[in-house]
Amino acid sequence: MPGPPKIVVVGSSNTDMVVKTDRLPQPGETILGGEFTIVPGGKGANQAVAAARLGADVTLVARLGIDAFGESALENFQEEGINTRFIVRDPDAPSGVALIFVDGNGENMIVVAPGANSRLSVEDVENAADAIRNSSALLLQLEVPMDAVVHAAEIAHTGRVKVLLTPAPARQLPRHLLEMVDVLIPNEIEAATLLGLSGEVDEQNARRLLDLGINTAVLTLGAKGALIVTPDATHLVPARKVDAVDSTAAGDAFAGALAVRLASGSDIMTSVDYACRAAAVSVTKIGAQSSLPTSAEVDALC
């Protein structure tokens, strides 16, 4: 029998400091919050943990500071069964942190201090080149330097490894990178940024994502589900209805689950449906990595 799918994640690792509040503050406003928690986060780390909990053999390429946050993150990755061989401990920068406010509807505001994440280098990625080439899928995001992201995509693309990119934080991207992406996973804000739009991204506009050079786009739509866009067709996969309490890592749960299923050989429709279920489970729990589901939890949500 084949073993678990091998997935490499190149990206960020943060410690999330989360405050629950009835509503989000306005600029210049001070409000009293409620529960405070400290949980591991960062888009790269979240996606790595998401894929690992769903049964993948995961390797993470990242940078951590030599500090208490870095020690805690490394221990957490090891407990999750993630290969940490290519995680660099940076003596000159602190580990990344994120300050997160979550309101009573599960909406959030996030500010990230990237620290060592901003120093992930091409050399760091090159050191993991063999692991990337021997994987079934590469997961990328944009919380680390662009040259590291591009180099990772180049290694995977030339090795015929599936490249999945979550284009967050939202920004314009070089066509050279987009042409190496097999599946782009933007939310509506990220898609609008890539397309130079200021309003909502409807189905017609979503098809324009393919003009950027990518093969397939999966536009995540929160409670509405996800829109698959391919050269042949578009298809809306509905979300599962759940009681949402925190959407912090829903996109990362989605991306990790999508990578696991695609790397296991499932088609795009089956994979996106599975990813929608994983995201739905994640929003029923507070925090980033603390909300990421196991395969049993996803399978239980029909």
The percentage of residues in the chain with a pLDDT greater than 70, rounded to a whole number, is 100
Q: What is the pLDDT of residue 1?
A: 56
Instruction: Give the sign of the dihedral formed by CA 122, CA 127, CA 132, CA 138.
Output: negative
| pTM given for the model | 0.92
Q: Among 92-96, 216-220, 236-240, which is the least confidently predicted range?
A: 236-240
Closest CA to 126 of 152, 98, 164: 152
Q: Tell me which of 104 and 49 has the higher pLDDT.
A: 49
Phi, psi of 57 (to 5 degrees): -90, 105
252 is catalytic: yes
What are the structural domains, with CATH classification, of the chain?
6-12+42-89+117-300 (3.40.1190.20)
Over the stretch 53-78, which tens digit does the pLDDT of each residue have? 999 999 999 999 999 999 999 999 99
Q: Looking at the predicted structure, is the pLDDT value of residue 288 above 90?
A: no
The single residue of 16, 57, 182, 252 carrying the catalytic annotation is 252
Q: What is the pLDDT of residue 100?
A: 86
Q: What is the pLDDT of residue 289?
A: 87
